[in-house]
Amino acid sequence: MKKIFLGAVAVFSVVVLATSCQSKQEKPVSAAFYNVENLFDTIDNPLTRDNDFLPTSKVAWNTERYNRKLKHIAKVMSSMEPGSYPTLFGLAEVENRTVVEDLIHQKSMVKAGYKILHKDSPDERGIDVALLYRPDIFRPVETQFIALHFPSEPNDRTRDILYSKGVVYGKDTLHVFVNHWVSRYGGQDATDTLRRYTGYFLKNICDSIMQVEPKANIIIMGDLNDDPTNYSLVKSLGALQPTPSPVDGALYNLAAIPFSQGKGSLYYKSWDLFDQIIVSAPMLDGQNGIQVNSESETIFKKDWMLFKRRDGVMVPNRTESSRSYFGGYSDHLPVMIGMEAHD
């Protein structure tokens, strides 16, 4: 009888140990961002400057081209995480909720089961940011669309910053910001002040969060229209290059290392890395339940997404320009980070 009892205890101990290990198992989380380059429908919106994306435009934008664009963007997004889909997917340059709905209902995207956070912004061109999320992993509890008002340009209307506070796997809190900062149209120097202001503005919001929650998990993603070494990122936002010993209260730019290696997400005269993912200190060492897997973001880049220039450089194959239709994907490459949620 004693042997039977001891055997039962041993079996029970193994079961308890296995259950304990399973409960502490690290669970995958991921975040991606993609500037999809003018994902417009074909319908005229009289409140915005969408005249370049109508059937009557100089470069005609019709149903066939729109559907091809959706298929192409969906192919990229569904290829980024083999066998799965990113938990969070930030988008820039979407015209409205309808185009985002059309995107997530593409055949290659349906299995993701994405839900949408979006609101029309005051941007003159009518382009917005959006956040897709997998409800089986991330549950939003608070969402805001934060308007930007520039003291130096009071009449300038730009994209809102999308903010969502949510819970990952029903346990860990994550703060997410999706951005599309003012472009360099008109010249980098002419618009630099606006991006510097946006960096300060966003830094103040993050500081406010960390005053209440010092170990807050924060992700900032977006097309920031500046490189990781520019003033708006390093000084205004205070986004530093990752370090093995992160400092509480600091933000770390996971695009800094790839950019220092000459990598980029869009090409003009050389590679720029405007598409960036920035995290708070606790996410580098997992102090608060969620930890990034690498100090560098991944730039998703496949040959079928690229176009070979006359000088031999392979660059993102875009959809169109003001003069020509190319039928490609986007003038940007998407970026992504992997994470793990743990006890």
Model pLDDT for residues 126-180, shown as the tens digit of each residue: 999 999 999 999 999 999 999 999 999 988 899 999 999 999 999 999 999 999 9
Distance CA(303)–CA(322), nearest Å, equals 25
6: three-class secondary structure by DSSP: helix
Distance CA(164)–CA(153), nearest Å, equals 27
Instruction: Flag whether 98 is in a domain.
Output: yes
Distance CA(320)–CA(311), nearest Å, equals 20
Instruction: Flag whether 113 is in a domain.
Output: yes
What mean pLDDT do residues 17-46 have?
Answer: 82
Distance CA(208)–CA(299), nearest Å, equals 31
What mean pLDDT do residues 308-330 have?
Answer: 94
Are 307 and 320 contacting, i.e. CB atoms less than 8 angstroms apart?
no
What mean pLDDT do residues 85-104 have?
Answer: 98
8 pLDDT exceeds 50?
no
Q: What are phi and psi of 278, to 5 degrees?
A: -120, 140
Output the six-digit token pair for 343.
């006890």
Output the six-digit token pair for 75.
């192919």
Output the six-digit token pair for 332.
């940007």
Residues whose CB is less than 8 angstroms from the CB of residue 206 and which lie 6 or more positions away in sequence, other chains included: 218, 220, 251, 280
1 pLDDT exceeds 60?
no
Element spanning 30, H or E: strand 27-39
116 pLDDT exceeds 50?
yes
Output the six-digit token pair for 62.
């019709």
Instruction: Flag whether 198 is in a domain.
Output: no
Instruction: Flag whether 325 is in a domain.
Output: yes
More confident residue, 210 or 16: 210
Identify the pLDDT of residue 15.
42
Residues whose CB is less than 8 angstroms from the CB of residue 310 and which lie 6 or more positions away in sequence, other chains included: none
Distance CA(313)–CA(301), nearest Å, equals 14
Q: Which domain holds residue 88?
A: 26-138+301-331
Instruction: Flag whether 204 is in a domain.
Output: no
Q: CA of 134: how far to CAs of 160, 272, 336, in Å? A: 22, 30, 15
Q: CA of 189: how far to CAs of 174, 186, 195, in Å? A: 34, 9, 10
Q: Using 50, 70 and 90 to split pLDDT, how confident is the model at 298?
A: very high
For the chain, how many structural domains are there in total? 1
Q: What is the pTM of this model?
A: 0.92
7 pLDDT exceeds 90?
no
At what angle are helices 97-104 and 63-79 packed, to 10 degrees? 60
Instruction: Flag whether 343 is in a domain.
Output: no
Give the least confident one: 1-5, 16-20, 90-94. Answer: 16-20
216 pLDDT exceeds 90?
yes
Q: 139 - beta bridge partners?
A: 167
Output the six-digit token pair for 152.
């130096």
Alpha helices in 186-248 (DSSP H): 188-212, 231
Instruction: Flag whether 266 is in a domain.
Output: no
Instruction: Flag whether 225 is in a domain.
Output: no
The string of DSSP letters for 100-113 reads HHHHHTSTTTGGG-
